[in-house]
Structure 1
Amino acid sequence: MTKPLVYKRKLEGKSNAHLITFSDGKDYVVKYFQPGFERSLPNEWVGYCLGRYLGLPVPFGKIIEMPQPFTSQVPELAEMCDVRFQFASLYIPDCLDGHQAANICHIHNNQSLAGIILFDYWLSNRDRTRKNILLREEMPHSFRLWIIDQAEVFGGYDWVEQDLEALPTDLIKSATHQLMALFVEEEQEFYQQLELIQTIPILLMEEIVALIPDEWAVSKDEKKAIVTTLVNRRNKALPEITQKFIKKVYRPLHDSLKNSRNH
């Protein structure tokens, strides 16, 4: 079992994330359960598992037990509420966020970008800001992209069951989605990703949700509601959102790009 060895530092942001070296020699970003943000870790877990299944560039993650002796030795962690299991994701070094990266001319893994956009709409993640992508320059002005921080899927980190039934279906004003859409080569890629999302087995979704630790305080009814929401949104809302995004965001961006090249 992987165990925490060295506490490094608290990371920026509101998600209570800490950089810790583990016994496998790797650094992980560990997000701790915290009052007021009770849904952050369940959201991270469900978002991570579905993102990985879809083949999206999400850093490896897992539910991890943080031993009390380790936590109590670190002042930044000692104040945490007494919850045994936290969510850890592999730290990707040498990256910039979307604000820091300049002159992005190419994204190596651009075949994932349509999937990321639809994934965010499916799970109602309205927090895909430039801070929630990582970009590593592999050649001049050419980057590999990862998505991080699924803490605010399902509308936020403090949702209640009734919120899941009324998640929005409007287009999100996201400069990050626009940036990604620029590098999606064919609009057909959106429909391929939609089909993939619609064929994820419901049993798999149920199993992912069932693995949420009891300590994260998601009731049986709420777990059932998560699966119902995922199934309903992918069948009803997502096809309409996909068409709307292509018509109102993707095509205008690419038309503008063609015009600028022609002048």
Structure 2
Amino acid sequence: MITPIQHVKKLENNTNNVHVLTFNDQMEYVVKFHLLRHRKALVNEWLAYCLAKYLQLPIPASKIVEIPRDVYLTIPELNDLPYVKHHIALQYKMNRVNGYSASTVNEIINNEQLAGIIALDYWLCNTDRTRNNILLKGISKNQYHLSIIDQTKCFGSTSWTVSDLENLPEGILESSTHQMMARFITSEVKFKEQLEIIQAIPMLLIDEILSFIPECWMLTKKERKKSDC
């Protein structure tokens, strides 16, 4: 298991629970910290990450990590908050820009994965697929590889309740980023294919994903059961 050894910086243009840390493998990771006011954010992130990996979608490698108390206390924004041991770390991707920073996108080379991203967002009711939450790696002029980040607002909220899950919206998610990606999808059949794959996901897999969620993230048995449906 990797262990953090040094806080590097707070991630720019983000909330105070996202920081870059150096770990004992000498690599830098973006760490998303569990905060009580966003108590479902990491639950959402972990569930969406594992499902995206199962669907072979482009998403940075992530893992649940332990942050020692002495390292936790070196982060100013967390000093006055209760200590929590487990958080999520994802590989820090260099040489990538978000969707707002790419002036012109003429081609996405992994366009066969885009329908899967949109289908997953709808399945998990991810209401925050903005251009801030995609990463573009330049391949050549105006040609990019697209990956997704930040699934903290799945199920419409970073602090959802069981009653919220019972009343999720069923209409169109207003996302200009989805519209941008849809331009590069070659056939509507791609959506049908992805929906069939999602519908065939075994419930035991979701059970296993939820079993890794630490107790300190405070996901109750009732909430586990409901998010498993």
TM-score normalised by structure 2 residue count: 0.96
Higher helix proportion, which one?
A: 1
- Contact 1:33–1:86 under 8 Å retained in 2: yes
- Following superposition, the deviation at residue 73 of structure 1 comes to 3.0
Contact 2:7–2:74 (CA under 8 A) maintained in structure 1: no
Distance 2:80 2:94 in 1: 28
Q: Kindly provide the CA deviation profile for residues 106-141 of structure 1, in whole angstroms up to 9, marking residues without a partner as x.
A: 111111100000000000001001100000101111
Conservation of the 8 A alpha-carbon contact between 2:4 and 2:22: yes
Quick one: distance in 1 between partners of 2:99 and 2:74? 35
Q: How far did residue 52 of structure 1 move?
A: 0.7
Structure-1 residue corresponding to 2:194: 193
Partner letter of residue 5 of structure 2? L
Number of the residue aligned with 1:152: 153
Using the TM superposition, give the Cα deviation of residue 78 of structure 1 relative to its aligned residue in structure 2, in angstroms: 2.9
Rg larger in structure:
1
Deviation string, structure 1 residues 161-196 (Cα, Å, up to 9, x no partner): 111111111001111000100000111111110111
Q: Take 1:173 and 1:130, find their aligned partners in 2: how far apart are those partners?
A: 13
Q: State the superposition RMSD in angstroms.
A: 1.1
Counterpart in the other structure of 1:8? 8
List runs of 5+ in structure 2 lacking aligned partners: none
Q: Is contact 2:155-2:168 (8 Å) kept?
A: yes
> Does residue 11 of structure 2 align to residue 18 of structure 1?
no
CA distance in 1, matches of 2:158, 2:170: 18
Q: Is the 8 A contact 2:72 2:83 kept in 1?
A: no
- Any conservation in 1 of the 2:10–2:16 contact (CA below 8 Å)? no
User: What per-residue deviation string (whole Å, max 9, x for no partner) do you get for residues 34-83 of structure 1?
Assistant: 12111101111101111111001110001100011222233344334211
**Between the two proteins, what is the percent identity of the paired residues?**
43
Alignment partners' CA distance in 2, 1:211 and 1:83: 16
1:137 and 1:144 in contact (8 A); partners too: yes
What are the residue-to-residue correspondences of 1:91-110 with 2, within 5 Å? Answer: 91-110=92-111
Amino acid at match of 1:222: E
Secondary structure at 2:38 match in 1: coil
Task: Give the secondary-structure state (helix, strand or coil) at the position aligned to 1:73.
Answer: coil
Counterpart amino acid of 1:3?
T
> Are 2:16 and 2:77, in contact at CA under 8 Å, matched by a contact in 1?
no
The structure, 1 or 2, with the larger RCO (C-alpha pairs under 8 Å, 6+ apart) is 2
User: Which residue pairs with 1:44 in the alignment?
Assistant: 45
Tell me by how many angstroms 1:24 deviates: 1.6
AA of the residue aligned to 2:147: W
Which runs of no fewer than 5 residues in structure 1 stay unpaired? 229-263
Match of 1:132 in 2: 133
Query: Could you say what secondary structure the match of 2:90 adopts?
Result: strand
User: Which amino acid in structure 1 is aligned with residue 10 of structure 2?
Assistant: K
Instruction: Report if the CA contact (8 A) 1:15-1:151 is conserved.
Output: no
Amino acid of the residue matched to residue 111 of structure 2?
N
2:70 maps to 1:62? no
Alignment partners' CA distance in 2, 1:36 and 1:73: 21
**Secondary structure in 2 aligned to 1:24?**
coil
Moved more, 214-223 or 13-22: 13-22
Query: Counterpart of 1:223 in structure 2: which amino acid?
Result: R
CA distance in 2, matches of 1:19, 1:116: 26
The Cα shift of 1:15 comes to 6.2
State how far apart, in whole Å, the 1-side matches of 2:90 and 2:22 are: 11
- Name the CA distance, whole Å, in 2 between partners of 1:15 and 1:148: 17
Check conservation: 1:51, 1:119, Cα contact below 8 A.
yes
* Cα deviation, residue 204, structure 1: 0.4
2:54 matched to 1:53? yes
- The correspondence of residues 229-240 of structure 1 with structure 2, limited to 5 A, is none
Aligned length: 228
Distance 1:195 1:92, change over 3 A: same
The answer to whether the 8 A contact 1:10-1:17 is kept is: yes
